[in-house]
Amino acid sequence: MNHLERTDLKDKKVGLRVDLNVPIENGEILSHERLSAALPSILYILKYTKKLCVITHLGRPKEGEFDIDLSVLPIKKWFEKRLNEEIHLINNFENIPDNVCFMENIRFFNGENDNDKNLSEQIAKAFDVYVMDAFATAHRAAASTLGAIKFSKNACSGLLFSEEIKNLESALKENKQILSIVGGSKISTKLKVIHNLLPNSSAIVVGGGIANTFLKAAGNPIGKSIVEDDMLDKAKELLLTNKIVLPEHVYVAETPQSNKVDLIPVEDVPENQMILDIELNENKISQNEEYIIWNGPLGIFEIDKFSNGTKQLIAFLENSKSKVIAGGGETLFAINKLSDTSKFHYVSTAGGAFLEYLSGNKLPSIEALRLK
């Protein structure tokens, strides 16, 4: 795979695909994290050439139609302030200027989502070098992610993209022992993740609705808790590995809106109550693994009453000597709410792509870059 730092950029026309899909309300950007993450590649490219066109998607507009609420104009203005220079906003690949510009939301273009060959070739031909730095979209076969890489004469990974792969690959190397933490509501969406992490994991700590399914499979009462009954046999199989770490105590209430919350042993969950959070079972977690991989909160952390398990986990991770790699949309949200990304070895900006990578699936953009 070609990397940005090994690519000749001098006076070249460069297309940079980034993921700046951030929440915007009344023209105001509500989260700057992804914008800041894109800056290193932009600044690196600008050292060698001013002929830079930044490409991103924003939201889910209807293809072929302009939607002012999903224009990248506010994002362009944010970068104008950071770079202290005027940036043109353009809407076609035919007449790209020889200075810094932003392409309008790529999802306005017909054929983006379907990886249309014509659009892919159009994007690729517009640039001397095409840089893929949107790891968060690496699992999508779109024209600006997969197609443009495939048809470009010179394509490489950006700084953020390379950093994501380097950290994930280093943690998932064969024969390396890791501690895995998998939360979330459904075991069905994380089953491949658990299976893929299992061989190299000393243990897999489970939380959220996933833990409920495992608890029921282990013969514990779970009351009115969210559970996937059709996954119980799979859960029983995984329990036989003796690597699944279940909670010993859980937080229960009649509903998420209840004021009365109790911390009780897992074997005492009443029929009329729900498990909405767990207590971290640190007694069964090794402290000696080189890496810890975390994906998914342990309870409904958005509600303070049910954020204890996730808070305990974050405190454990912050004080761990292991290299902690965390990722996923809700995981990033939990870290931003309860901690700080600087306290972890690496926090991925990706959601679906991070999950796909942990599942052992091949990501289209990575495979395309490996052929360049």
Taking the CB of residue 89, how many other CB atoms lie within 10 A of it? 14
Residue 174 has pLDDT above 70, yes or no: no
Degrees, nearest 5: CA angle 29-326-200: 155
Residue 176 has pLDDT above 80, yes or no: no
- The pLDDT value recorded for residue 116 is 98
Is the distance from CB of 292 to CB of 347 less than 8 angstroms? Answer: no
Residue 79 has pLDDT above 90, yes or no: yes
**Higher pLDDT among residues 350 and 6, named by residue:** 6
Predicted TM-score (pTM) of the model is 0.89
pLDDT digits (tens, 9 = 90+) for 59-73: 999 999 999 999 999
Q: Give φ, ψ of 54 to 5 degrees.
A: -95, 130
Average pLDDT score over residue span 78-93? 97
pLDDT digits (tens, 9 = 90+) for 3-35: 999 999 999 999 999 999 999 999 999 989 899
The domains of the chain, with CATH numbers, are: 4-162 (3.40.50.1260), 172-358 (3.40.50.1260)
Listed in sequence order, the residues at least 6 apart from 370 whose beta carbon sits closer than 8 Å to its beta carbon are 1
- The pLDDT value recorded for residue 175 is 64
Indicate the DSSP class of residue 147.
I
> Residue 120: pLDDT band by 50, 70, 90 thresholds?
very high
List helix spans (H) across the chain.
33-46, 73-83, 117-125, 148-151, 159-171, 187-197, 208-217, 232-239, 308-318, 329-338, 352-358, 364-370
Listed in sequence order, the residues at least 6 apart from 163 whose beta carbon sits closer than 8 Å to its beta carbon are 346
Question: What are 180's strand-pairing partners?
Answer: 204, 293
Residue with tokens 């949200």: 333
pLDDT digits (tens, 9 = 90+) for 254-280: 999 999 999 999 999 999 999 999 999
